Amino acid sequence: MPSDSEWNVLISYLGGLSTAGGKLKESGTTHWVSPNTGATNESGFTALPGGIRTVDGHFNYNFLIDEYWSSTAYQSNISWSWDVDMDNLRTGISLWYDITANGYSVRCISDS
C-alpha cells in the first residue's frame, strides 16, 4: 500500500491536487454517477467509485467516491487517505484522515 509520500509523488506527476483526480478516474458513467466531468484516466490508474464501509458495517457513497488508504499513520488507529473528488464535477484529489476501522479502497504497489 503506498505511503503518503508515494501518493504525493503520483499527484505531483499528474499535475497537482486540482487535476490529479480526473487523471486517475475511469472516464464515462459506467461506474461513476453522471456527469463525471474531467475524468480522463490518462494515468491508466482507473479509479472506480468503491464507496466506503463505515465502522458499523454500512456502505455509503457507492458510485460517488473513491477513498484510498495511505500506509502513513496520522495517530494510533487513524491513517491518512486520499479522496478522488466525490461530486463528479471536479477533477481534484484531497487528503483526509480517518479511523482505520472504516473500509476504504487500497492500491497495492511494488517497490521493485
Helices (H), the chain: 4-13, 17-24
The pTM of this model reads: 0.85
Asked if residue 86 has pLDDT above 70, the reply is no
Distance, CA of 12 to CA of 54 (rounded, Å): 30
Amino acid in position 84: V
Cα separation values, 31 from 1, 37, 74, Å: 23, 13, 31
φ, ψ of residue 105 to 5 degrees: the values are -70, 155
36-74 per-position pLDDT tens digit:
888 999 999 999 988 899 999 999 887 778 889 999 999
Section 15-33 average pLDDT:
91
The residue written with cell numbers 484516466 in the block is 41
Q: Domain segments of the chain: what residues? A: 4-51+61-99
pLDDT band with cut points at 50, 70 and 90 for residue 33: confident
